Chains A and B, each alone.
Chain A
Amino acid sequence: MKAIVNVSLKAGVLDSQGKAVHHALDSLHFDGVKDVRVGKQIILQLDESDKEKAMQDVTKMCEELLANTVIEDYAIELV
């Protein structure tokens, strides 16, 4: 099973990289972009075949290492 973890800054925490990308898109005349957030994606190949167990494990990984929950949110997708 594969787990795809998306980590991004929490809503309310200023995302400077997102702002810079937004500004660059504006200068390229891509109008109509309301907001840009830049995050990172971490892809894990897991031995686990039980979805519930995998979700528990990856949640623990996110809490302990993959995200800094003081400033970041994470979302896990199992495929």
Chain B
Amino acid sequence: MKVTVLQFPGTNCEYDTKYAFEKLGAEVEILWHKSEEVPSDTDLLVVAGGFSYGDYLRSGAIAKFSPVMQAVIKYANNGGRVLGICNGFQVLTEARLLPGALKRNEHLHFISKHHHLRVVNNDNDFLKELNVGDVVNIPIAHHDGNYYIDEAGLEELEANGQILVRYCDAKGDELNPNGSVSSIAGVCNKEKNVFGLMPHPERAMDIILGSDDGVKMLEGFFKA
């Protein structure tokens, strides 16, 4: 399993992401955004979290024009698996590889804490090791995590099983920290090869750091 992790100026989760996937047994390469190609042996491309280009204009808006993004779009359109975490999710929505957009959190605060998520759909490569209704404890750390999609778009997400996880409390009841439409924390595209979520599974790999539920999420990519 070869994982390629994108690095833009301002990305800051690439080493955590590398650590997480290496812990699960992957070979990991960090790819600088000036590259015009995705390594051909890549099994999963991860757009890591951080503040690409200082979040100038809008989170993810400038990163989508980096040289590597044309290659990422091509890779995704050919069926390649792409995972965007936090700022990576924002970049993928800006690049229109994922539907919707991320707005400023409803109460305008930067939120950094552990939060529970409920698995909504697992018939995809990412969450297939989890059951629908499972609750995982994963850190969130964002200012612009308020997922927005219009009503028609939301209906489409629900009909196609594209909602991956919703924010909830420890019991699995809906609990919305940031104003996201329908408490959505992560979605995938219709073809189910491009995934994005605001929470950080790569920061939940060791029980001594509060939770190792990230293992259950990320290892889905390793199982055929």
Contacts and interface: CB of A to CB of B under 8 A. Distances in A.
A13 B153 CA distance: 14
Given A13-B148, A20-B108, A71 B103 contact: yes
Contacts of B58: 68
Nearest to A65: B61
Nearest to B62: A65
B57 A65 contact: yes
Question: Interface majority SS on B: helix, strand, loop or mixed?
Answer: loop
Contacts of A79: none
A33 B115 CA distance: 37
Contact of B61 (A13, A20, A68): A68
B220 interface: no
B108 A71 contact: no
A16 B105 contact: yes
B108 A70 contact: no
B97 interface: no
A32 B2 CA distance: 60
Interface in A31-65: 65
A51 to B, nearest CB: 25
B14 interface: no
B104 interface: yes
Interface in B100-156: 100-101, 103-108, 146, 148-149
Nearest to B99: A70
Interface string A1-39: 000000001000110110010000000000000000000
Contacts of A65: 57, 61, 65
Contacts of B65: 65
B179 interface: yes
B55 to A, nearest CB: 13
Tell me which of B58, B107, B149 has the highest count of chain A C-beta atoms within 10 A of its own C-beta.
B58
A76 interface: no
B94 interface: yes
B106 A14 contact: yes
A71 B101 contact: yes
Contacts of A68: 58, 61, 94, 101
A13 B148 CA distance: 8
Contacts of B100: 70
Given A65-B61, A70-B100, A16 B148 contact: no
Contact of A66 (B57, B105, B108, B146): B57
B124 to A, nearest CB: 23
Contacts of B93: 70
Interface of A: 9, 13-14, 16-17, 20, 65-66, 68, 70-71
Interface of B: 57-58, 61, 65, 93-94, 100-101, 103-108, 146, 148-149, 179
